Amino acid sequence: MKMTFRWFGEHDDAVPLRYIAQIPNISGVVTSLLDIPAGDVWSIARIRHMRDTVRSAGLTCEVIESVNVHESIKLGAPERDEKIENYIKTLRNLHEFGIKAVCYNFMPVLDWVRSHLYFDLPDGSKTMMFSRDFIENTTPELLAARYAEDSGGVALPGWEPERLLYITDTIARYADMTDAQYVANAEYFLDAVIPYAERYDIKMAIHPDDPPTKIFGLPRLVNDADSIARFLALHDSPYNGLTLCTGSLGANPQNDVAAIAARFTDRIHFAHIRNLQFVSDTDFYESSHQSGSLNIYGIVRALADNGFDGYVRPDHGRMIWGEADGMAVSPMSRTAARPGYGLYDRALGAAYLNGLWDAVTRGRVVN
């Protein structure tokens, strides 16, 4: 297990790299070039600068989250071949700088969806929340406006301004898309890209749908054991793998996340580990890594028992210790902290996960 921490880049993150390097057992950061639009090639110069910046803090830069998939690929539109070629060029360039894993998603138009970015908990912390009723009574446009206002102008990954410009039109383009067609579009992408991932030794790790249920009538692809098995079989290679996002999969109470972790360990290259607290069958808030409805111990144990040796990061944390006070600006920087991505609760999460990992693996006899 290699413990990492998500970092959004020198101009886009309130948390300095040197603070991340002080968290026990952190080997590296998971980062991205957020300003490059999906479908464009990541240049050698930009990748080199990103990698060198991370290394100068004594951290490794081996995982990218995300290289986003252009909408034409998800839609199966004519421009997809050119965009897939660009994706492959980006993988080639990332390979030059020692990138070992790429997390991406295949969710139409939108990435993750929440009803609240800063939901107040009784202990004074703030956290993200999902209310099914709220989502069913809003529109993607209203939600995007709400996020823009609540986040104090910080671009949220998955809700980047260029994506939002065409949100209404893009959603309309999915109106006639069947689930079978959507799966076929994913297969087309994998058949083109995975042979190059093999050549460049980059493990592709798809992120599950978040939440793992239908949103705004859009197609869904990866959200439970059956759909994970179907996805991995579309192109059967160790390089076609999964990001085990416990909070995404766990948002469906029918999903046994520990069983999913155990069943697919050899294809899980990256794990996002977080907890959530259900307040009803459909609604939840993101709780601390230790306390919530999911059995994080059972999930970590399932990974360890099955020989997991990929990357892990603590996923979303609450905003605690005043980190989201005022304008959601961190006391450490003038850059606003992103909801879910403050320093303190994620650092606590990393420490908890490190402790669990030690407890389940130390003293084992290795054959």
Q: Which chain residues interact with ligand CS2 by CB under 6 A?
A: 65-66, 103-105, 111-112, 157-158, 207, 210, 245, 272, 340
Q: Which stretch binds Mn ion (CB under 5 A): 51-59, 83-91, 296-304, 310-318?
A: 310-318
Q: Measured from the CB atom, is 108 or 340 closer to ligand CS2?
A: 340
Residue 140 or 211 with smaller CB distance to Mn ion: 211
Residues numbered 277 to 306 that lie near Mn ion (CB under 5 A) are none
User: For ligand CS2, which is the closer residue by CB, 277 or 361?
Assistant: 277
Sheet containing strand 116-120, strands side by side: 116-120, 126-130, 284-285, 277-278
Whichever of 88 and 251 has its CB closer to ligand CS2, that residue is 251
| 286-291, long-range: CB < 8 A, 24+ apart | 286/127, 286/128, 286/129, 286/247, 286/316, 286/317, 286/318, 286/340, 287/127, 287/318, 288/317, 288/318, 288/345, 288/348, 288/349, 289/314, 289/317, 289/345, 289/348, 289/349, 289/352, 289/353, 290/352
Tokens found for residue 131:
């209310």
Question: Toward ligand CS2, which CB reaches closer, 68 or 72?
Answer: 68
Identified binder of Mn ion from the candidate list 83, 269, 272, 289, rule CB under 5 A: 272
Whole-number minimum distance, CB 35 to ligand CS2, in Å? 16
Backbone angles phi, psi at 241, to 5 degrees: -120, -170
Closer to ligand CS2 by Cβ: residue 93 or 105: 105
What is the identity of the amino acid at 32?
Answer: S
Do the Cβ atoms of 71 and 87 come closer than 8 Å? no
**Minimum CB distance to ligand CS2 smaller for 36 or for 360:** 36
112 binds, among Mn ion, ligand CS2, none (CB under 5 to 8 A by kind): ligand CS2
Q: Interacting stretch for Mn ion, rule CB under 5 A, among 46-54, 195-203, 250-258, 268-276?
A: 268-276
The nearer residue to ligand CS2, 304 or 317, going by C-beta atoms, is 317
Q: Minimum distance between the CB of residue 351 and ligand CS2, rounded to whole angstroms?
A: 20
Which pairing describes strands 311-314 and 268-273: parallel, antiparallel, or unpaired? parallel
Minimum CB separation from ligand CS2 for residue 323, in Å?
A: 17
Task: In angstroms, give the least distance from the CB of 304 to Mn ion.
Answer: 20
Choose among ligand CS2, Mn ion, none what residue 157 binds, the Cβ cut-off being 5 to 8 Å by kind.
ligand CS2
Closer CB to ligand CS2, 146 or 305, in the complex:
146
Decide: is 83 part of the binding site for Mn ion (CB under 5 A): no
Site for Mn ion in 220-249 (CB under 5 A): 245
* Partner from ligand CS2, Mn ion, none binding residue 198, C-beta < 5-8 Å depending on class: none
Q: How far is the CB of 150 from ligand CS2 (least distance, A)?
A: 15
- At position 202, the amino acid (one-letter code) is I
**CA torsion, ordered 298, 209, 183, 34, to nearest 10 deg:** -120
Contact stretch for Mn ion (CB under 5 A) within 26-34, 270-278, 297-305, 331-339: 270-278
Span of 140-148, 151-159, 178-186, 315-323 interacting with Mn ion by CB under 5 A: 315-323
Among Mn ion, ligand CS2, none, what does residue 140 contact (CB within 5–8 Å per kind)? none
Q: Distance between CA atoms of 195 and 242, rounded to whole angstroms?
A: 16
Chain residues that interact with Mn ion, rule: CB under 5 A: 245, 272, 315
